[in-house]
Chain A
Amino acid sequence: MKDAPVIEAMHLHKAFGATVALEDLSLTLRPNEILGLLGVNGAGKTTALNILLGLTTPTRGTLRVFGQELMPNRVDILKRCNFASAYVSLPGNLTVGQNLWTFAQIYGVKNHKAKITELLELLEIPHLRSRVTGQLSAGEATRVQLCKAFLNDPELLLLDEPTASLDPDISDKVRKFVRSRQQAQRTAIIYTSHNMRDIEEVCDRLLFIHKGRVVAEGTPTAVMTLFQQESLEDVFIQIARSEAGDVFGAAKTAK
């Protein structure tokens, strides 16, 4: 059971009144795999991410994480997961050390002092430990969030646009850190980004969502080949500018 799926989502459907945000999403994520979730704004990827995090309940479909249904086993499952997002912050009035201590306690991290020191050093920010979180630059705050996200050596990690608003240097460092840590710990990661370079460099497989439906799935190279494009950015633009019917037609080919 070493490679049993970390996430098994079957036919997830979410409607908000008459608006269908997600339609028939099925995905499997295995250990040591990074799955990129792509889509234009409003495509349904945030809804998908929120369902995977247990923040939103699906209208239909089943979701199993570590072989268990998510909602009834939420706390046990979340102990083995973590999350970081460009749109979420740690309390700005606390120091970095206080914030990381709090989450180390919440996740029950053993030997938390050593773990926090190790991660801060790996992310090249040990000097920030006593700094007030609200005074950090975007790049520093993102790295502190990543430190929090890897505190409990998660088996499943959800990263929501971790390189948004970062300069190329810091983005590169973040990508390398995520990749190296993930490989060392066989972490399964769901990774969303609008930065196609991120996706090409970091993700093993990707899933394009458009108007609530999966329109393409495969390795970055396979998807580019199937859409006859030279870059993922061109695939993204092609999907974004297509009529829904065209894209769904292309998706059949892609799959």
Chain B
Amino acid sequence: MNFRIVFALVCRYLFLYTRNWVRLAEVIFWPTMELVTWGFLTRYLEGRMGVAEAGPFTWMLGGVIFWDVMFRSQQGVAISFLEDVWTRNLLNIFVAPVRPIEYLASAFGVGLVRIAITVLILWALSWIFFSFNLLDIGPSLVPFFGSLLLFGWAIGIFATALIMRFGQAAESLAWAVPFLIQPLTAVYYPVSIMPGWLQWIALALPSTHVFEGMRGVMAGAGFSWSHFAWAALLNAVCLLLAGLFYHWTLSTVRARGLLAKVATN
């Protein structure tokens, strides 16, 4: 892997954000709106049930921030690819000496930057307005965020491959794929409330183990090594499968002559 190329590609995306404040607002606006909505819901539940009873509802605010880590990570990959499609620059990249791993690594880097901005803002807002301090979760935050970041990358690679295969008509997949996962991964409620057969599917997602682990820490049960191990193992499998799917899709679109079409249509 050539880090000079990765650095150049990451800088290119950052130039884009510094020149276009609307793009930056997108990283801030939607997460803030979501936090405010769930924040008021939490307040309402506290009012109805009494703070002591409703304390566990701060899960929701944790869930909002954790979900955004995964969503921004996925978006970093998929939207970076779409930026090249939208600006008709994709061919310049695909006929340049850029390896797929370098291209993806730059998208991962962009995802990291997006997450850093979003989390910083959500952390400050949730602390100031809803008395929820993310840092109270403690050092467990690092493995939790790391796991969500990796799973976001895996979904991003998968969504990118689908867009590459089906063209711009499929660009809504960049937003749809994570929301297909959201109800299954138990962001705002425990896995135990799902039907038995659905729990198996939920627990096959690495992110579910992170959200379960987060709720455990917030309920005072401590860090669950079991959930962490499952998340790590499942992330490894998801990244491997996503990588293979991307590689296979790239070969397929080359064979079908679709790459140039996606890039120029």
| Cα(A107)–Cα(B95), bound, Å | 11
A47 and B257 contact, Cβ closer than 8 Å, known pairs A92-B87, A98-B12: yes
Interface mask (B235-265 → A, CB under 8 Å = 1, otherwise 0): 0000000000000000100111101100110
B89→A91 contact, CB < 8 A: yes
A108→B254 contact, CB < 8 A: no
A106→B260 contact, CB < 8 A: no
Taking CB as reference atom, which chain A residue is nearest B94?
A55
Number of interface residues of B (CB under 8 A): 33
What distance in Å separates the Cβ of B172 from its nearest Cβ neighbour in chain A?
A: 22
**Interface members, chain A 1-48 (any B CB < 8 Å):** 14, 16, 21, 46-47
| Cα(A91)–Cα(B257), bound, Å | 23
Interface mask (A90-102 → B, CB under 8 Å = 1, otherwise 0): 1111110011011
In the complex, chain B residues whose CB is within 8 Å of the CB of A148: 92
In the complex, chain A residues whose CB is within 8 Å of the CB of B92: 83, 88, 90, 103, 148
Taking CB as reference atom, which chain B residue is nearest A99?
B12
The binding surface of chain B is classed by DSSP as helix
Q: Does A79 contact B (CB under 8 A)?
A: yes
Q: Does A215 contact B (CB under 8 A)?
A: no
| Cα(A83)–Cα(B98), bound, Å | 14
Residue in contact with A57 in the complex, picked from B9, B19, B255, CB distance below 8 Å: B255
A16→B16 contact, CB < 8 A: no
In the complex, chain B residues whose CB is within 8 Å of the CB of A254: none
A106→B97 contact, CB < 8 A: yes
Q: Does A89 contact B (CB under 8 A)?
A: yes
In the complex, chain A residues whose CB is within 8 Å of the CB of B98: 75, 106
A56→B260 contact, CB < 8 A: yes
In the complex, chain A residues whose CB is within 8 Å of the CB of B20: 93
**Interface members, chain B 27-47 (any A CB < 8 Å):** none
In the complex, chain A residues whose CB is within 8 Å of the CB of B251: 57
Residue in contact with A16 in the complex, picked from B84, B87, B257, CB distance below 8 Å: B257
B88→A55 contact, CB < 8 A: no
What distance in Å separates the Cβ of A81 from its nearest Cβ neighbour in chain B?
A: 7
Q: Does B7 contact A (CB under 8 A)?
A: yes
In the complex, chain A residues whose CB is within 8 Å of the CB of B8: 101-102, 105-106
Give residues in B with beta carbon < 8 Å to A. Answer: 4-5, 7-9, 11-12, 15-16, 19-20, 83-84, 87-89, 91-92, 94-99, 251, 254-257, 259-260, 263-264
